[in-house]
Amino acid sequence: MRVGFIGLGSQGGPMARRIVEGGFDLTLWARRAASLEPYSDTAAKTAATPAELGAASDLVCLCVVGDDDVRQVLHGDEGVLAGLQPGGIVAIHSTIHPDTCRELAEAAAKQGVTVIDAPVSGGAPAVEEGTLMVMVGGADDVIETVRPVFATYSDAIVHLGGLGAGQVAKILNNLQFTANLGSALSTLELGDALGLERQRLCEVLNRGSATSKAISSITMFGGTVEGLAPIAGGLLQKDVRHAASLAAEAGASEGTVFTVADTALENMDHAR
């Protein structure tokens, strides 16, 4: 299978490397030439435009930031869909609204191209270890077609249902993570008021039964979200907004988890 990859950031970059090192024919595109330089020691080819990348691929993986970024690289005279041939597949690794996935799938279907959603979780270290989580939504046969590519960087490919289901799971995952951040920060502030040294309390929480990914992240950044905010603050805000939209569409209550998540986002805003 010929694979194209767009979005060579801190997570997408290692994913692309795992794909080419896994023996797949890989083509890359990036807005900046400097983003392609790290792959000069691999067999990966480069394309001048997303359309050229699409023409050279059977599967195109997108790991750009948000909804509009995905639209920009897919549409237009130089977009992926201008080059991808009928029978091609687009896998959206970006975390975007499920409605955006369905909108893009409808446009792609007009030229015989299938879209699946495949957001990921775990970060660059998990990619390098081949343990990234991939949450997939789409038709069974398409998922099985792309599974060998995903398996180069993931040992947990979870098929959650039809198109958009992977995005729902990822958005809820990020909502819970954000709420965990808010809960952790509140606990640390209480520890401050009770006279505990924050870094020591972080050590206890990180190794005790209260531990979570949020506690681990806060501990890594010295007991605050100041280091985490520039990396994840904007992305988590986007995903919590998506979660609120999904809750409203489902007629579900925005309960305590949203309140705690909002607290965490406020702290991250201040940190930035």
Catalytic site residues? 170
Q: Exposed e or buried b for every residue in 78-115, given b needs 16+ CB within 10 A?
A: bbbbbbbeeebbbbbbbbbbbebbbebbeebeeeebbb
Q: How far is CA 7 from CA 31, 75, 108, 130, 163, in A?
A: 9, 16, 20, 18, 21
Tally: H helices and E strands in the chain: 12, 9
Q: Is-contact 46 68, C-beta < 8 A?
A: no
| Closest of 166, 177, 179, 145 to residue 262, by C-alpha | 179
Report the SS3 class of residue 92.
Answer: strand
Angle, helices 198-207 vs 165-193, to 10°: value is 140
